[in-house]
Amino acid sequence: MTTAELAAARAEIAQACRVAAARGLVDGILGHISARIDEDRLLIRCRSDSDDGVAFTRPDDIRLIRFDGTPGATGELDGYRVPNELPIHVETLLAHPEHRAVAHLHPPAVVAADLAGITIEPIYGAFDIPGAWLARHGVPVYPKAVLIRTAELGKEMVAAMGDRPVVICRGHGITSAAATVPQAVLQAISLDQLAAMSLRIRAAGGTLTPIDESDWADLPDLGPSFTADAAWRHEIARVETG
């Protein structure tokens, strides 16, 4: 990867961190997003003594490190600290080579819904087609409300995640993995919307019922230009003009 490509990747991850904060998926200094660079290095949001929080992430806050937590190049960790939960990113990327990006976030609605015993299901369709498909085959839960700071705990979380792109970490947050940084965050937004809608329906005295099986045929993938690409442009515009 060239210097220019590395700089662009840092900027994209920093932007994604600000989007996550603007969407209420993180608060304060908690949460981090990463992207694999090669076989043993990744870019990840790190912390410094001047850290103002995830909502104010700068490209300089995105540091190149090795999977073992050491600097990925000279000076990369000067003045910066690797997240305690680096194993979330490393173990997810190692277990699923198809994923190039990982977002570990703390969306309150998802945490609340899970603690309330609500199973995230596709309760709506065209309201958010990617979100409906995300939930169609279930959203797994890692049952330990712990800081995932060891490889062993990271492997446990990945095992709970199985072949799904997202996992709820009970009493903690979520992990979302995808081929791109924007997709990892967009999945988290969709999961948060599903959880928030589920809580609203329950609060109104309603029952959570998955959409009818026959509806799936008319919930097509409309292509990235209409879904992921357009959605990400919107998220960036919200942050830049908000």
Catalogue the active-site residues: 85
Cα 173 to Cα 53: distance, rounded to the nearest angstrom: 17
Geometric angle at alpha carbon 184, from 109 and 24, rounded to 5°: 30
Please name the amino acid found at residue 225. S
For 64, the enclosing helix (H) or strand (E) is strand 62-66
End-to-end CA distance of the chain: 33
Q: Are 200 and 155 in contact (CB under 8 A)?
A: no
- Please give the full DSSP string across 124-164, using - where no structure is assigned: -STTSHHHHHHHHT---EE---S---SHHHHHHHHHHHTT-
Cα 190 to Cα 71: distance, rounded to the nearest angstrom: 34
Q: Are 184 and 103 in contact (CB under 8 A)?
A: yes
Four-residue CA torsion sign, 97, 191, 19, 172: negative
| Phi, psi of 141, deg, nearest 5 | -130, 130
Written as six digits, the tokens of 68 are 């073992």
- Do the strands 101-105 and 62-66 form a parallel or antiparallel pair, or are they unpaired? unpaired
